[in-house]
Homo-oligomer: A and B are copies of this chain.
Amino acid sequence: MKQTDFVGGFAKGLKVIEAFDAESPRLSIADIAVSTGLDRATARRCLLTLVELGFARYDGKYFELTPKVLRLGHAYLAATPLPRLIQPLLDHLSEDVGQSASASVLEGTEIVYIARASQRRVMSINLVPGSRLPAWCASMGRVLLAALPVSEARAVLERSTIQANTPSTKVSIQALLAELDLVREQGFALVDQELELGLCSMAVPLLDTRGSVVAAVNIGAPAVQMAASEVRARYLAGLRHLQAELRPLMN
């Protein structure tokens, strides 16, 4: 790529949008300049541009994003075949088994939810398309990591911030790599309360017609109601069925 094929102002503006998060929903010009590393003047121009376009509001002191930015994320969901194809299958599966079902893809060290059919909430946090979880401790993350060459999977794990969320959490890279071997061998991942107490989740990979892993799908169940072995017995068939249904549609 040539130097002239890159629009710096665009890249900087996107960094500004990404600077807004839960810890800092309202940001001043100086805040943005610090967190993005941009010059204050540049940050200010990007912010005023966002305001002008209706993506942000300004009260003279602080900027905040408007719901219009959801348009951008939605452009992906509306435009990409995979989320649209998966959604009805997830709905069906979720209703069949009476538990929440989700689909996600790998993005760096995290999984990104691209579709979800939710039943009663089990997890402490609400998941919607666009939500992210660390790959190493999520069932779909394990499935997606297992699909990578071992060296790449290891590289992702080494870049991840690994910490024990519960007493059961596997935290050593060695243990996680061994787990990925197991996942690869059996064709599914079962995570029993490693992410959150009371949550047991099982995932399988989704393949396209060429056999490449394009996403993962999972079912989450309250661990108080059933043991991990029961989760496997009850939900594996449904997941495999969805896997088989989707495959011919993806090419």
Q: Which residues of A contact B (CB under 8 A)?
A: 1, 4-14, 17-22, 24-25, 44-46, 48-50, 52-53, 55, 64-81, 84, 87-88, 91, 95, 105, 107, 112, 114-121, 126, 128-132
The docked-state distance in angstroms from the alpha carbon of A116 to that of B129 is 12
User: In the assembled complex, which residues on chain B have CB atoms less than 8 Å from the CB atom of A1?
Assistant: 48, 52
Known: A75-B20, A78-B21, A79-B64. A112 touches B10 (CB 8 A): no
Nearest chain B CB to A94's CB is how many angstroms away? Answer: 9
Complex CA–CA separation, A14 to B115 (angstroms): 24
A48 CB, nearest partner CB in chain B, Å: 5
| Chain B residues whose C-beta falls within 8 Å of the C-beta of A9 in the assembled complex | 7-10, 13
Q: Which of B76, B118, B126 contacts A65 (CB 8 A)?
A: B76
Minimum-distance CB pairs A-B, first 4 = A73-B73, A10-B13, A9-B9, A70-B130
Minimum CB distance partner of A83 in chain B = B67
Cβ B67 vs Cβ A107 within 8 A:
yes
Cα distance, A81 to B62, chains bound together (Å): 14
CB of A79 within 8 A of CB of B25, answer: yes
**Contact at A79–B24, with CB atoms within 8 Å?**
yes
Instruction: Tell me the smallest distance from the CB of A108 to a CB of chain B, in Å.
Output: 9
Chain B residues contacting A52 (CB-CB under 8 Å) are 1, 6, 11
The complex places the Cα of A119 from the Cα of B132 at a distance, in Å, of 22
Contacts of A7 in B (CB 8 A): 9, 12-13, 45-46, 49
In the complex, what residues of B have CB within 8 A of residue A128's CB?
77, 116, 128-129
Are the CB atoms of B130 and A21 closer together than 8 Å? Answer: no
Q: Knowing A13-B7, A45-B5 are in contact, say whether A22-B78 is a contact too (CB < 8 A).
A: yes
A130 and B48 contact, Cβ closer than 8 Å, known pairs A10-B12, A79-B24, A79-B65 = no
Q: How far is the CA of A234 from the CA of B184 in the complex (A)?
A: 50
